[in-house]
Amino acid sequence: MGDRTQLYIGGAWVEPARPERITVVNAATEQPLATVPAGSREDVDRAVAAARDAFEGWAATPVEERLACLQRLHEGLLERIDEVGRLVAQEVGMPLAAATVIQGGVPAVIIKSFIDLARDFPWEEPAGSSTIVREPVGVVAANTPWNYPLFQAACKVGAALTAGCTVILKPSEIAPLASFVLAEEVDAAGFPPGVFNLVSGFGEVVGEALVSHPGVDMVSLTGSTATGRRVSELAAQTLKRVTLELGGKSAAIVLDDADLEEAVDATVRQSFLNSGQACMAWSRLIVPRIYHDEAARIARKVAEQLVVGDPLVEGTDIGPLASAEQRERVRRFIRLGVQEGATLVTGGVEPPDGLHRGYYVRPTVFADVSNEMAIALEEIFGPVVSIIPAEDDDDAVRIANESPYGLHGAVFSNDKARAERVARRLRTGQVDVCGVGGFNVLAPFGGYKQSGRGRELGRFGLEEYLEVKALALP
């Protein structure tokens, strides 16, 4: 993919109002990959006007006609899985094999899941003498992150368009390229003009203009907790509906009857997926105190076996981080962990051998971590796992729940009923019980506490984009 010079507004590729550009950087080489427009408030105004003009007609379009457009979009994305995987591997650093499946393939699956869901969805239902009608919220501003760019766009755009909303998509300036692929496929699928719009740009300009715009009815954001607070403040001025999928500091609890090697191996690998650039990473490994040292030994072995390198080279397990800023953030937390007295089991701030170009960080494991340390409290968003000892099941649950976040987690045990009892006590949106489950696009995804509000995916994700009306009938 070369440079992108236009925005997608009102069903057409149009010139941006201003000439400013954003350079997208290859995370492995630190060299320019492409440029995209740095959109402006004028571009936002045009996109919102187009979305508002299209809303009434799209909302009134029969569901089956909306789904026919989404089916064509699904089929178009299937044709471009390899292309998207390669783009995101370069932007974000996820190894190509994983990026092709997760970053390229899963978005198409997500779109298909909303198509299937909508056919049996209760758009209307009786309630005594009333009829309950579910109607689209309106114009949606979808703000997506850089770590899973098309994946998160599919979650928001798929649900919003299925519901009958119109959308303005604002991708992260770090990884915007897959969103242009999405816009091309929307255009090819024959959606009415203005139903979907794409405005690339910086968050402080395009993002804030969308969130504060009086013509936007709803904001859906995936991003940091700090960004979620800012979005909430701006959206409150016009009382917009807001859904937020924010940070995480998820815990994997290993009970004393679990297969320790299997549990530690699974936790380290899950936490290092996408170089740890995942809100659902199990970055806290909570183990029985008597097994702490053995867990550290296993974690070190797993981490040191993983191949760090160019994401486009076959056999790479861990690629670079997405940006120099993110690399420095992770290194700062590693230094802080050492200063706070945690034991550095493996990894550290030095670049991996032979990888002085690119945003690489060594896979890092800390042991002897307590919940008061910054590496246990704050989301690092890199390949760093902290091992925390617990006295018993109750202590493990206490440690897990002391986090200000509550997005994901896991419980490992050879007794499924026991693991489920512990899982039910965790204050978090999703928990994998007795192993790493396959990602379920029908299950609601979202968090408790500072991990956000609202849910994505499945029926609960679709309902976020719907208003409920009661018709009192004679």
Q: Name the H helices within 120-224.
A: 149-163, 177-189, 208-212
Determine phi and psi for 214, rounding to 5 degrees. Answer: -70, -15
- Please name which of 213, 214, 248, 201 lies closest in space to residue 228, comparing C-alpha atoms: 248
Record the tokens describing residue 466, joined without a space. Answer: 């719907």
Record the tokens describing residue 142, joined without a space. Answer: 């979808």
279, 434, 456, 464: which is the annotated catalytic residue? 279
- Please name which of 403, 400, 422 lies closest in space to residue 411, comparing C-alpha atoms: 422
Q: Sign of the C-alpha dihedral, residues 228, 229, 235, 239?
A: positive
3-state helix, strand, coil split of the chain in percent (to 5) is 40, 20, 35
Between CA 444 and CA 458 the distance in angstroms is: 6
- Please name which of 399, 438, 431 lies closest in space to residue 416, comparing C-alpha atoms: 431
185, 245, 378, 456: which is the annotated catalytic residue? 245
Is residue 245 flagged as an active site residue? Answer: yes
Between CA 255 and CA 411 the distance in angstroms is: 7
In Å, how far from its chain's centre is CA 131? Answer: 36
**Burial level of 99, CB count in 10 A (0-12/13-18/19+)?**
buried
Between CA 413 and CA 420 the distance in angstroms is: 9
Asked whether the beta carbons of 267 and 285 are under 8 A apart, the reply is yes
Is residue 165 flagged as an active site residue? Answer: no
DSSP letters spanning 233-284: HHHHTTT-EEEEE-----EEEE-TTS-HHHHHHHHHHHHHGGGG--TT---E
* Residue 271, strand partner residues: none
Q: Sign of the C-alpha dihedral, residues 56, 59, 65, 66?
A: positive
How do strand 284-288 and strand 251-254 relate by DSSP bridges?
parallel
Record the tokens describing residue 297, joined without a space. Answer: 């030994």
Asked whether the beta carbons of 217 and 188 are under 8 A apart, the reply is no
Asked whether the beta carbons of 241 and 135 are under 8 A apart, the reply is no
Question: CA 226 → CA 103, 245, 444, distances in Å?
Answer: 25, 12, 23
Question: CA 346 → CA 80, 155, 296, 298, 358, distances in Å?
Answer: 39, 36, 9, 11, 20
Enzyme catalytic residues: 245, 279
